């Protein structure tokens, strides 16, 4: 005589097996949650010594993550406004690795597209920081999918590092 489950138990075990199989299949097809909680701010500027004519500067960017997991970006682009006027753009092809719940700085070469506005911002600043806005696009890849997120930030920054470009 063999061992057999009573009929109601067979239905229950078949139902549980089907439910477990569905859960395994559905969790394998999930997508990663969207990346949020990233801030990109400007810590300052420095002279770019490699340029014979100062149409470039070094911009010190601070990348801050409020995420509990590490995030890696393949690169970024930035538009910088001083006192409401676009003064420069930057293309950063260097990878950015953000540990969880922390911030890092990275030097980026900025092309100064509006020397007159830079000169005006430096002259107007005196001993005070200038208002700025930075619009950033951060690129990363998840599997085969290339993704980007936007991060905008406003604050104040010391612009004296741009004095060479304002000459």
pLDDT higher than threshold 70 for residue 10: no
pLDDT of residue 107: 96
Give the tens place of pLDDT for each residue, 53-62: 678 999 999 9
Q: Nearest Cα to 163, choosing from 41, 50, 45?
A: 45
pLDDT of residue 5: 53
| Furthest-apart CA atoms within the chain: distance in Å | 100
Domain ranges of the chain: 38-162
Sign of CA pseudo-dihedral 49, 81, 125, 158: negative
The band of 4, judged by pLDDT with boundaries at 50, 70 and 90, is: low
Give the tens place of pLDDT for each residue, 86-131: 999 999 999 999 999 999 999 999 999 998 999 999 999 988 999 9
Please state, rounded to an integer, the average pLDDT across all residues of the chain.
83
Give the tens place of pLDDT for each residue, 13-40: 454 444 444 444 444 445 555 678 899 9
Q: Nearest Cα to 86, choosing from 124, 150, 133?
A: 133
β-pairing verdict for 130-142 and 103-112: unpaired
Spatial separation of the C-alpha atoms in residues 134 and 107, rounded to whole Å: 15
pLDDT of residue 32: 52
CATH 2.30.30.90 corresponds to the domain 38-162: no
pLDDT of residue 145: 87
The band of 74, judged by pLDDT with boundaries at 50, 70 and 90, is: very high
Spatial separation of the C-alpha atoms in residues 74 and 62, rounded to whole Å: 16
- Computed on alpha carbons and rounded to an integer, the radius of gyration of the chain in Å comes to 26
């Amino acid at each position: 005589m063999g061992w057999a489950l009573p009929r109601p138990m067979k239905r229950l075990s078949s139902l549980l097996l089907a439910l477990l199989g569905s859960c395994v299949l559905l969790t394998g097809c999930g997508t990663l949650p969207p990346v949020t909680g990233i801030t990109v701010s400007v810590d300052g500027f420095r002279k770019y010594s490699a340029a014979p004519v100062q149409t470039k500067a070094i911009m010190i960017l601070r990348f801050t993550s409020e995420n509990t997991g590490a995030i890696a970006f393949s690169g970024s682009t930035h538009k910088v406004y001083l006192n409401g006027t676009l003064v420069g753009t930057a293309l950063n092809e260097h990878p950015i690795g953000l540990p969880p719940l922390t911030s890092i700085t990275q030097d980026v070469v900025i092309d100064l597209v509006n020397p007159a506005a830079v000169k005006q911002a430096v002259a107007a600043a005196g001993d005070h920081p200038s208002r700025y806005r930075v619009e950033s696009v951060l690129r990363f890849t998840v599997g085969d999918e290339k993704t980007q997120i936007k991060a905008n930030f406003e604050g104040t920054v010391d612009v004296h590092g741009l004095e060479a470009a304002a000459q």
